[in-house]
Amino acid sequence: MTVRGVRGATTVSKDEQHSVLEATEHLVQTMALENNLIADDIVSVLISTTIDVQSAFPAKAVRTLEGWTYVPVMCMHEMDVPGGMPLCIRVLMHVNTEVPQREIIHIYQNDAVQLRPDLKK
């Protein structure tokens, strides 16, 4: 097995706990589904948010997924760069896989699709 990185990002329209948790859960589940991953394949998950996301720890959404209890998850804030995308949640999932890096499917949802237009399906 090789450890690979799976990237993803999404945005919320408002900094509200429900929105942050729902968007994070949807993003992480889509990342796992599109890459045929189960919780046992996941080494760790790093989640960052822009500084305007403060209502909830997005990691809570991951920890409550069925079977994901023991997946190490950590949250942090992104750099506050002028002109950066607001209300953004980014995920880096480290996974054990035999899939070559070029075949990993990275997921960008909502306004975050603008971050990596080169990865559109």
Give all strands of the β-sheet with 73-77 in edge-to-edge order: 73-77, 42-49, 88-97, 2-11, 107-108
The residue length of the chain stands at 121
Catalytic site residue 108?
yes
**Chain segment 47-92, per-residue pLDDT in tens:** 999 999 999 999 999 999 999 999 999 999 999 999 999 999 999 9
Across 14-34, average pLDDT: 98
Catalytic site residue 102?
no
pLDDT at residue 89, rounded to an integer = 98
Catalytic site residue 7?
yes
Token pair for 52: 């305007």
Token pair for 67: 């079977």
Q: Spot the catalytic one: 7, 22, 25, 34.
A: 7
pLDDT over threshold 60, residue 121: no
Catalytic site residue 88?
no
Distance CA 95, CA 115 (A): 22
pLDDT at residue 119, rounded to an integer = 73
Q: Which domains does the chain have, with CATH numbers?
A: 2-114 (3.30.1330.40)
